[in-house]
Amino acid sequence: MTIDKSQMKRWARKHFRGFENILLPSFTPDLKALDEEGIRHDVRHSIANGVFSVFAVGMWLSPQELRRYFEIVVDEAGGRIAVGSPLIEPNREAVHGVLRAAKEAGLTHVLAHPFHDFHATSEDELFEFYRDIIENTDLAVAVWATDGPQFMNLHPSGVSVNVLDRVADYANVVAIKLMTTLDLPVVYEICERLHERVLIGGVHLGMLPFLSRHYGTQWSGAWTIEALQTPKQPLVNDYLNLLLEGRTQDAMTAYWKIKPGYDALYGLMAPMLPMGVHPFTHLKYYQWCSGGNGGLLREPMDPNEHRFPLRPEERDNIRSSYSLIGIEPTTDSDECFVVGRAAYTRGARAADMPVKPTYIE
């Protein structure tokens, strides 16, 4: 999809509406190749969940695999939804490689944030990091406002609001994603300074009434909305739609219905987020429980992820969390999750897997 830069903010106001979910790659049981059937299954499942976009995360992939992964996702999406991807590579060269692959495959947007070991000594240096991305892509760009110790020298919150203010002026910077862990005062400052130029998106469901009422928030992403809904019971979609329709009291009723499941999700993630760890295997399991493909991922690049394998008791807790909000999760065996639905249907079994990264049986 090609969008003129001068029209990107207008395009985003039309299309960034609803939820963007996380799309994780599926692999063959030997983990040596992409499972195209499994990936296509998850794109269709995402569309059935009513998302406006899938956020194709591919950090386990070689450059060639990443390009093919993007091509599969864009092809299956077929223009029905947007397709974005994070820029979380460890250096500038790799970031620009992802930008090229995203453009060539037809993605609509990327999410920019400095790689983990990037340390800016000044706001100008951090701005140059963003400028190098924004000016060298024809894609729409969202910026992730997340706190981190590497930027405490620039702002007490760990978020350089002045830099976000500067990049918001670019025609192809269309949105700001607010990290769940941000302090409310910095959320307020970001919203006050930026909301007239970019779309404010919050992952924290409890903030959405405030953000939608005062700052026009109409989107949330990217996160695993399948933890709280299925295509037949779109509880999270209903909540946001009620807010956007101005039916605040009905939205509050919807929020309190999903909150037990939401608390369970963030209770699981709470020990991990301060370390910069996202429990991708756990999130895959959530998606599988609600009808997604599942399937284990390759060995994580972040050694901290090895501290949080998916254990039997966590799988039980995840399944149980659905009952808290009136959803019946899949009754399929965990073996189906391990290899992925598509591979399981083809006859693959857990014994076919030489290793099972971040998974304890």
Domains of the chain and CATH, by start: 5-352 (3.20.20.70)
The predicted structure's pLDDT at residue 149 = 81
How are beta strands 199-202 and 82-87 bridged, if at all?
A: unpaired
Model pTM?
0.96
Contact call for residues 339 and 348 (beta carbons, < 8 A)? yes
Inter-residue contact 41 to 49 (CB < 8 Å): no
Please give the backbone phi and psi of residue 43, each rounded to the nearest 5 degrees, phi first.
Answer: -65, -45
**Tell me: the pLDDT tens digits for 118-162?**
889 999 999 999 999 999 999 999 999 988 788 889 999 999 999
User: Quick one: pLDDT at residue 211?
Assistant: 97
pLDDT at 292: 98
Rounded CA-CA distance 140/134 in Å is 8
pLDDT tens figures, 232-251: 999 999 999 999 999 999 99
Residue ranges in the chain modelled with pLDDT below 70: 1
Q: What is the pLDDT of residue 1?
A: 65
